[in-house]
Structure 1
Amino acid sequence: DLAVRKARGSDWCFRQEIPRHFEIHFQFFRRKVAVPKQSLVCVKDARADTMRLQIVGVVHFFFKRNSMTKYFIYCRKSSEDEERQVLSIEAQLTELRDFAKQQNLFVAREYYESKTAKEPGREIFNEMLGEIEKGNAQGILAWNPDRLARNSIDGGKIIYLVDTQKIVALKFPTFWFEATPQGKFMLSVAFGQAKYYTDNLRENILRGIRQKIRRGELSAKAPLGYFNEPRLRTIEPDRKTFSKVKEILGAFALGQYTLTAIQRKMFSVGLVGKDGKHLALSTVHKILTNPFYYGHFRYRGEVHAGSHKPMISKKLFDKVQEALVANGKPRKKRGEKGLLYKGFAVCGECGYAITAERKIKKSGRLYHYYHCTFKSKTQTCSQTRFLREEEMTRQVQNLCKKVSLSDEWRDKYLAKLETENMESRHSSGLFVQNLKNDISVIKTRIERLTDAYLNEALELGEYQERKNILMSEKKTLEEKLSDFERKGNHWLELMRNWILEANQAENLIKRENPIEQKDFLVRIGSNRRLAAKKLEMDFKMPWDFLAKTPVRAARFAHGEVKTTTFVKVVSWN
């Protein structure tokens, strides 16, 4: 009515800023008058009723629009994964649009994002608050206060904007709010409840994870060769890839593959990445070092015993780690030059590799020499003398002789082994009991280690390192116990195989095949070093037994001395 009375006056003016997408047209007689975006609209001596009604409508529209509170709609879902909570934002938008229509709320803009609210730093949320601070809106429309904030910083920002009257209204279909002391208090309680829910949910999830770890279940994505069973929530072998991964691990343990070579082999058997290409070298390295495959699993740097089906034995896993240290680094291949002992040994003084050098005399005769690479930057290596390949071959033969058995001593050992087979039946129970005692001792040490960590006597890193070592030792003893209980006197069979293999070393010497002799030494020993033109190495068990045999007994083993004194040297206890 006031607008109508003012419109009937002789002079009445009002000033109004019109948005860009509005263009108001007045029909004044036969002329078309457009109201500009910022203008002073004057109406004088309006005579026609039609014109007066149109002006009254425009005045009423702008007066009402100027007095309305502008709202921003804000929707959020917690997960950034597009496959999870797909309908969450769409459902919120639909509900909030209907709510705004029912309450006659003017919505200026809609904001939505897929971001967790338990930590500050949401880009869309901060952008919306920035627009509110500029005065482009005075209210927020959301489904629930927990959509706005689940942390104290974002919740405090909203309450501060309410205190400074930047925000005059907050509308929620499921929550009541007024800009009063009581309303602010209830809003603070709602934000506190949202934060408490997040913190409590985290504790519940961690408690569930700890319980799964106690049961020996890995609470994570299954490694290659296994899959997550959704019904039982366990990790089971994958029929398609289990045998393939097992084959790869067994092949790498032989020490004949580098990382890049085993990567190509994995691709050839069908073990590929998500894009169908070769697995990344870092992924291959993780597979080769993952304790999950022998029955344990690593969680947050700590190794735990698993209840899943192991793919390989702990013994094979240890061989994989040795091969990874020896051949793990990918090297650029070079053309073969007939250098027999290239990469076979290291310098006994500085520890760097022994390199090979080829020389051709004026006569056309070819010579191969081996010496240190002198690449150490911390010390000056004094091993400047070289060793000819013929001398290297002779020393390799001597090392093979140290661990070889003649046919005569092969028969003596096998006869002694049969006697041990009869006596071992009485000592099997004692052997099993000793293994169980050792396992019990390790369990006690793990418990004491845990108590020391809980009493803050150890740091987390030191505790995890020590525990992982004990867990590895415990697994090795458990496998020995399991093998012995399953196979009985299986060690006698292993001993028989070792005797026969030592006898084959004698045949290698007779055949004078340096390549086979070199490969044999690589298989039975380690730490091959060359110093002062002398080749030495460390033999593995039980080969070190033969290597440490006295010279007189060794000569007898090769038939050079006929005596029975060697029987006193051999001890089977």
Structure 2
Amino acid sequence: MPDAVIYVRVSSDEQEREGFSLDAQKELLREYARRQGITLVREFIEVETAKRAGRPQFTEMVKFLRKQARGKDRDVCCRTILVEKTDRLYRNLLDYATLDELDVDIHLVKESDILSPDAHSSQKFMHGIKVLMARQYVDNLGEEAKKGMKQKAKQGIWPSKAPLGYRNVDAPDGKKIVITDPVNAPVVARMFEWYSTGRYSMDEIGRMALDEGLALTRESKDSSLRAVVQYMLKNPFYYGEFVWKDETYIGSHEPLVTHELWDKVQQVRADRRTTKRRKSKREFAFSQFIRCGHCGCLLVGELKKQRYVYYHCTYYKGKCPEPYVREEVLDEQFADHMRSLAFDDQTLSCIRNLLMRSQADEQHFREEAVNRLQNEYRLLQRRIDIMYADRLDGRVSVEFFDEKSEQYRAEQRRLKQTIDEHELANQSYMEEGIALLELASQAGKCFKDRSVTEKRRLLNLVLSNSTWANDELTVEFRQPFDTIALGVRQCATEKAAGVDSGDLRLKRLRE
């Protein structure tokens, strides 16, 4: 009788309090294990949104499975995961790769699918595409949250963590707002005054602020004290404006310094800049985009005889054996890599049909979630109506009615927002995923005829790293183009072996 673990994830703290999603997933997986004769040895329960950083229970499960894999008796060690469906297990493609390295069996119970280490490559590819689609759906939910944050910005409310010298608090209407910190705000104001005199460096101002008790927080462990001070001194938030998503808004918060003082600080900063970047007279398509495969330095472009463009290593680390290379050679090899993202028309059509069919199951699950939320909304409304009748009859006081009804209406507003986010996200994520596949298939055709600027933009979108060595260009695709490239290679391999990939995938979908 095989051993297994179950992994359950809910998407919010509210779901944890309601208990609906947790209990439903656990009951489904336990019943499945009972029917299949599987012994459950551990349960990992995760309460967190897919967009939030860190999943401690997922990490704990990976550690447990790795420890099991190191056991001496591999016939009895746990090598199976039971999970409701794809988007409950994976947050991104890195999670998918992590589990793939463990060589475990994954039972996707609601999808009636079992992914094992010896599964066919086409099955793994389609599973990777489903992971990609789940990620697309989560990103669309995130877009709705971003819209809410932009709306706050338009109202003059800073929609994120308050800068040093301010605090985040709850306003009477329930909104998060920013107010001055009575302890730190005066010190921050003095930092601007100190720097405006021109007598102190940023390091000195940082140390002076620390001496006055200001806890200068670093964005990362690699940030220097100078970098933290510089970020504060150039932040327009302190004179009453802020920038959110490249747009400037007038804040509703209280400024710590005047606009004139802030301008003076910027002038002192500008006067201290003694070096300026030199701009190249000509823009090269691949300059500083490729690294040398021998020494790791960047390749830069150089014009020869006013006609020919060559690329060579910067030799920053010393002598390098890599010779010059013509731009035309790099251009052709980049185009080849872009063409490697293209499915043939038959396979692309097959994948499009598969994804649209699999969307029907996902649509059903989401409709169930929306229906549940709508039922909860109506239940709260009935409670408000009954309580209002009790108030009219004198069975409850006006104060009690006002307090409870406001709690219920606040919960209704939360439910309505969640319903709207699901409905809006569900409208486009699958279409956008299919459009992404079609875009990838057209990348090779588009690349050759583009301008220098457009080529760089396309390469930045599709590739994460490029290296050149021994007359060969090696690239790494960004997500999700890495999954698409893998799928194209698998399709080509099956076609060379005489396997009709499209018929095979359609047959598996029907099964």
* Shared fold (TM-score, shorter chain, > 0.5): no
**How high is the TM-score relative to the length of structure 2?**
0.36
Greater relative contact order (Cα < 8 A, sep 6+): 2
Query: Which structure: greater helix fraction?
Result: 2
